[in-house]
Amino acid sequence: MMEKALLLASCFVLYSNGSFVATLDHAGMEAHVYHSSSPYVVMLTSSIECEPCEAFKDIFEGAAEITGVANFAVVDMSEGDNAKSIPFSGMQVPEVRLYLDAGVKNAYKKNSWYRPFQVLTNIQSARSIRKAVIAHVTKDAPDVPRLSTQNISLYVDNVDIVAFSNKKEASPLMLSLVRSLQGSKVKLAQFPSFSKEDLAALKLIFQHLSEAPSLMLKLPSGEWEVMGPAKLKSARLSDLTEFIQKFIPLVEEEEISKPKPTSNRISSVDQFSKQVTRFKLPVIIAIHKNSDAELPEDWKKTKDKSPGVTLLTLDCEIPELKSKFPDQCSLDKWSLYMYEYTDDLSTRVGVPAHSLSEARSAALESIPDKVVPLGKGMINGFLGMSSQSKLIPIVLFGKQKSAPAMLTAVAATMEGLALVGYRSNPSVEEMQKEFGIPEDAAVLPIFLALLVEEGDKPGESRITIASYDRRVFGKFTSNSMISFVFKVIAGSEPENIKGWLSTHGAAVGIYASGEETTSEMPSVDDVDVAMLHVTTQEQWSTECTNTNRICVVGLFDGNPLNSDLESRQLVFEKARASILEESSAARSKLKFMWVDGSCEEAFTAGMKVEMLPSIVVYVPSKKIVFQLRGSFMQETITRFLSQIVAGYGKHSVTIEDTPVIASVDCTSTRQLVQDEDEDDQEWLREIKNEEAREKKEKMEAVKREMEILQQEEAAKNPTKKRRKRRKGKKKVEKDEL
């Protein structure tokens, strides 16, 4: 946050001589580009023997002048240490890079930042550069909340900036501004399709609003400052960020100073009991008569590098705590006490430590190594051991010869719940054969939870693998690994979690929901309220796509003639009630709704659903859709949703475009179809009747023709007929004789 504020305040003074292109070196790239989330276009060039660089310079400056949605900069790779400090092959200059995603800390280089980029190609003119930049800025841009006269009174208190536009969609400049504000507390919303008719309803809130486009900025006083059309139509991204920074500092002045390392402070006897005397993992306590004194040197560094060890400070201003350490609370320096790991809490006592490094070493050494070392081909035995012990098997594949300290801390913390194993340097073939890990994903370290599930046939079982996703849980730490294991087990075997918490949880500082006095995340869905039926795009945006929620969408055939609709919706409702009542995590994440999938065909296709009914879980922030596989039953749906909440959902697909509700009038459409069907049936009946009449008339005509022919034949040969009758009569008389 500090870096972003400084960048927004300083990036406007980089340019000189009226140019829109800043000149940077490697330090400037680190300070202004890597630490930023604003779109940047950077040209790597050379001032030594590079005719194409000189020729392209004017094109690049021309592009910067006509492209206001990004900041432009140039770096001379032939100067100073630029070539060494900025990753570059050195094979071809000039090279034009677009930095779009926000910068992040470089995990492989201390005190360094990194920002992904893409090289722009096929750019031969200023306009082609502008076109390419705008295309990338608008593609997959963060969603911007949409306001209207109907909902603005509900949401205006939760936004800081409102962009009024007479167009339906946000402009590239606004989307670029949204990217620039990522990571800050400033929230932007858009009011599209603005017209003069809207002014009457909006004047009570936005006194200075007159026409669009306009940018309204909420001041700390609650009033709204305006950037009107005259400035906004010619504004660049830098103008907008300067306007925002002028009225809304992204950080307070005192926050710009170097932050102090945070610490957990013991401020009550009950807290001391929970976090120290009834806690079996190692604890280091720092004591000073002045609780606000600067922490011991390397406190934060020690805290980060001591997996399984809790570092706390003691508030000596609390009389009950001061009585426990009267001597230490009277000293004007930090005193350290270390509590080793112990399974017998009745004998838990602290011992003084002379230095933080000494306390850390003793604390780490006290943690017992409960990790099971695994060799090649030992996985079946490991699974058998976990099955006999009724523990969840957890495995870490790593490069070290022995288990790392963080895994040792995980094994000690989760004793009685999980059996933790470590496999050093497995081959790609081994990981593929025994765990089905694809070759491109077999990059160490890999942390897995192995879950035994029922097979398709009675008596059969199969192993399901849940993999630690660093995009979800962050970099590997003992706490993040424990969080992963808990979410996996909670999603598959919640009863195991409840039993373990009641017997082991307090000793490692983990409590069941409601036992600790921590506030629960607010619920985003209420089982006592009827499930939302989404029929408009505004509902879909407000309740799902413009939020941080996880959206559970039931897709049904809503035709009133569908006899299964009510029973299938009841199954979905029961699954909803079950998961929301059992899981606080579900209540804080999941938002349930249903859509008439047979009517909203484009929405159904966008969710990659081919058959109804179906359940999908949509994550707007990542544009990922998880699909229900298996029978449409309450147990199946509940298990599916539990896995989503636990963080290891299966059967996911990534979609490029967020599905849109077309707001089709399903009732009218179905009535029209039904009327058309009835007309078709009447028409078919008339055709059949007409065919029957024609057939009957043809038969009667044929019969009449046959009779006429017979009459004509009889008229032509009367003698032959009399002879035939006479011959027949003689034959009868002969037979009688």
Q: Are residues 377 and 356 in the same domain?
A: no
C-alpha angle with apex 201: 198 to 205, nearest 5 degrees? 115
In a domain? residue 516: no
CATH number at residue 234: 3.40.30.10
Which string of DSSP letters, residue by residue, matches 579-591? HHHH-HHHHHHEE
Residue 66 three-state SS: helix
Q: Is residue 146 part of a domain?
A: no
Residues 488 and 596 in one domain: no
With H, G, I as helix, E, B as strand and everything else as coil, classify residue 298: coil
The confidence score (pLDDT) of residue 707 equals 79
- Do 393 and 497 sit in the same domain of this protein? yes
DSSP state of 67: -
Q: Specify whether 6 is located in the same domain as 130.
A: yes
Residues 9 and 129 in one domain: yes
Position 143 in a domain:
no
Residues 423/520, Cβ–Cβ less than 8 Å: no
Q: For residue 578, tell me if it sits in a domain.
A: yes
Query: Does residue 257 sit within a domain?
Result: no
- In this prediction, residue 386 carries a pLDDT of 85
| Whether residues 583 and 486 fall in one domain | no
Residues 561 and 680 both lie in one domain: no
pTM equals 0.40
Task: Render 426-467 in DSSP notation, one character per residue.
Answer: --HHHHHHHH---GGG--S-EEEEEEEEE-SSTT-EEEEEEE
Query: Are residue 642 and residue 705 in the same domain, yes or no?
Result: no
In a domain, residue 253? The reply is no
664: its two tokens: 């089709």
Residues 126 and 164 both lie in one domain: no
Decide if 631 is inside a domain: yes
Last residue of a domain, one of 187, 213, 245: 245
Give the CA distances from residue 704 to residues 21, 386, 516, 690, in Å, rounded to whole numbers and listed in that order: 101, 94, 101, 21
Distance between CA atoms of residues 500 and 482, nearest Å:
14
Question: Are 437 and 491 within one domain?
Answer: yes
Q: Do 444 and 424 contact (CB within 8 A), yes or no?
A: no
Inside any domain, residue 515: no
3-state secondary structure of 323: helix
- Domains in the chain: how many in total? 6
Q: Both 65 and 126 in a single domain?
A: yes
My answer on whether 35 and 114 are in the same domain is yes
Of 664, 691, 715, the domain-final residue: 664
Among the three residues 331, 366, 401, which one is the final residue of a domain in this structure?
366
Residue 204: give the domain boundaries.
152-245
Strands (E), 317-456: 335-339, 351-353, 372-374, 392-398, 418-424, 446-454
pLDDT, block means (10 residues), the chain with 737 residues: 36 52 88 88 88 90 91 90 68 83 69 80 90 89 80 73 88 89 82 83 79 85 84 88 76 34 69 84 90 82 87 86 86 90 78 90 92 88 85 90 91 89 90 74 83 62 72 74 78 66 72 45 72 90 84 91 87 90 76 92 92 90 83 87 68 85 72 51 72 80 78 67 61 60
